Amino acid sequence: MRYAQYIKSRLLIVAAFVFPALVSINGCKSTATASATATAPGAIVTDDAALAARVKQALAADPGLRSLPMSIATYRGVVQLSGYLDSDVQIQEALAVTGGVAGVHTVSNDLHIRPK
């Protein structure tokens, strides 16, 4: 009798660990992404690395922005510019150039004027 209780308690302990693991594994199942199918016809579907490269290229082509230290981060067409520039004119120019790049949906401005 004692052996049966021992086995029941061990099975209960094992079940207590295995059941949550099995339930959580189901949450790891991959699903098809809707981003490629949700875009409108003719919309430019690009990956973030290519978009960041195009933005960097556009900023480097502008003589007034070429040598300025800016960080560029992209996520699904949203480009975030961050860093410290010398004037508000430079910030507005950087935002305008970035917004003109194909594939950019939104520009997030985290640029600041450098303290003097």
Residue 58 within any structural domain of the chain: yes
pLDDT > 90 fraction of the chain, expressed in percent and rounded: 37
Residues in the chain: 116
Q: Average pLDDT, stretch 66-91?
A: 90
Q: Please check whether residues 24 and 50 belong to one and the same domain.
A: no
Q: Is this model's pTM higher than 0.75 or not?
A: no
Q: Which pLDDT value is given to residue 42?
A: 43
Give the tens place of pLDDT for each residue, 84-100: 998 999 999 999 999 99
Helices 88-99 and 48-61 cross at an angle (nearest 10°) of 130
Residue 50 lies in a domain: yes
35 in a structural domain: no
Do 25 and 61 lie in one domain? The reply is: no
What are the tokens at 84? 């410290």
Claim to verify: residue 67 and residue 105 sit in the same structural domain: yes
Q: Which token pair is 23?
A: 């339930």
Pair 16, 70 in one domain: no
Provide the domain count of the chain.
2
Residue range 11-40: mean pLDDT, rounded: 60
pLDDT exceeds 60 at position 76 = yes
String of DSSP letters for 23-44: HHHHTT-----SHHHHSPTT--
Average pLDDT in the chain = 79
* Domain carrying residue 24: 2-30
Closest CA to 53 of 104, 108, 96, 93: 104
Evaluate whether residue 36 is within a structural domain. Answer: no
Count, in order, helices (H) and strands (E) of the chain.
4, 3
